[in-house]
């Protein structure tokens, strides 16, 4: 059954078409390019994502969605189905890595899913400023309901946290704007749509490399060991010059949308 449909962005009337990669396999290359376009180079070196990405795209093509405006991919939504228990207070610290691995394992075991986990939402830079992030969040919820799944589970990467890498995530997510809403824009979108913040996944992704690799990924020099601030990293990166290693641990925030199915 095709999931292609036309809808409109909630707040500004922008009309878009939704197509999954099962509807439009010809879009896979462009879909991948847009999906990787927003991330700093070091974020493309998570070994769990690298090991499982091709399987994820193959197994779950119907859950890899493009938001099209005038025939161009304006945003991509990557999701994976998985089975989760009812206790969201104890979701794993491993976040994205856990969800990607579990979705593949569940599929290969034939385990029936009851949730969708959002892996990423990326708006192409040419289409930013049109409220497509909120539209994409709404589409994730709609997609889960269409599949008769009970939950959308998100290891959210707060989009403003990189400006405050020395602030603990626990403190950051407690900040509010003058209206009493979440300070972070992406968390505020999910709050507005009824999402519930249920915890922090402190080790959502772990990215390691040599000092040379980190210098290539970031364009920075790391002449000494210790914690280094790297643009767009949510936490400092730990460099160990003696052992020629750099290690980044990405924290995310668990948010759950209950789909009422």
pLDDT at 25: 96
pLDDT at 2: 47
Q: To the nearest whole percent, how much of the chain has pLDDT over 70?
A: 95
On the question of pLDDT at 195 being above 50, the answer is yes
pLDDT: which is higher, 1 or 185: 185
Q: Where are the domains of the chain?
A: 5-206+249-258
On the question of pLDDT at 8 being above 70, the answer is no
pLDDT at 57: 96
On the question of pLDDT at 29 being above 90, the answer is yes
Neighbours of 176 (CB within 10 A): 11
pLDDT at 129: 87
Question: Which of these, 101, 96, 105, lies nearest to 205 by C-alpha position?
Answer: 96
pLDDT: which is higher, 5 or 90: 90
pLDDT at 260: 75
> What confidence category does residue 1 fall into, taking pLDDT thresholds of 50, 70 and 90?
very low
Look over the chain and give the mean of its residue pLDDT values, rounded to a whole number: 94
On the question of pLDDT at 11 being above 80, the answer is no
On the question of pLDDT at 166 being above 60, the answer is yes
pLDDT at 116: 98
Interval 248-259: pLDDT, tens: 999 999 999 999
Q: To the nearest whole percent, how much of the chain has pLDDT over 90?
A: 90
| Rounded mean pLDDT, 186-205 | 97
On the question of pLDDT at 12 being above 70, the answer is no
Interval 51-100: pLDDT, tens: 999 999 999 999 999 999 999 999 999 999 999 998 898 899 999 999 99
Contacting residues for 126 by C-beta, under 8 A, at least 6 apart: 72, 74
Q: Which CATH architecture has domain 5-206+249-258?
A: 3-Layer(aba) Sandwich (3.40)
pLDDT at 6: 54
> What confidence category does residue 130 fall into, taking pLDDT thresholds of 50, 70 and 90?
confident
On the question of pLDDT at 121 being above 60, the answer is yes
Instruction: Enter the pTM of the model.
Output: 0.93
């Amino acid at each position: 059954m095709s999931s292609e449909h036309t809808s409109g962005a909630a707040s500004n009337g922008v009309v878009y078409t939704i197509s999954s990669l099962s509807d439009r396999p010809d879009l896979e290359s462009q879909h991948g390019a847009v999906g990787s376009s927003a991330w700093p180079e070091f974020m493309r070196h998570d070994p769990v994502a690298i090991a499982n990405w091709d399987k994820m795209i193959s197994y779950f093509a119907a859950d890899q969605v493009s938001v099209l405006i005038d025939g161009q991919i304006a945003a991509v939504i990557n999701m994976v189905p998985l089975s989760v228990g009812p206790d969201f207070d104890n979701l794993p610290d491993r976040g994205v890595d856990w969800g990607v691995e579990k979705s593949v394992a569940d599929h290969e075991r034939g385990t029936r899913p009851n949730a969708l986990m959002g892996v990423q939402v990326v708006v192409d830079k040419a289409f930013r400023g049109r409220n497509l992030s909120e539209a994409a969040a709404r589409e994730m919820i709609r997609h889960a309901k269409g599949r008769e799944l009970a939950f959308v589970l998100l290891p959210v990467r707060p989009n403003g946290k990189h400006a405050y890498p020395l602030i603990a995530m626990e403190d950051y997510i407690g900040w509010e704007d003058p209206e009493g809403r979440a300070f972070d824009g992406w968390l505020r979108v999910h709050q507005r749509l009824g999402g519930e913040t249920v915890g922090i996944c402190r080790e959502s992704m772990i990215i390691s490399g040599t000092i040379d690799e980190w210098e290539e990924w970031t364009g920075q020099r790391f002449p000494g060991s210790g914690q280094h601030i790297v643009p767009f990293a949510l936490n400092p990166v730990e460099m160990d010059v003696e052992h020629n290693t750099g290690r980044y641990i990405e924290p995310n925030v668990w948010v759950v949308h209950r789909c009422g199915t």
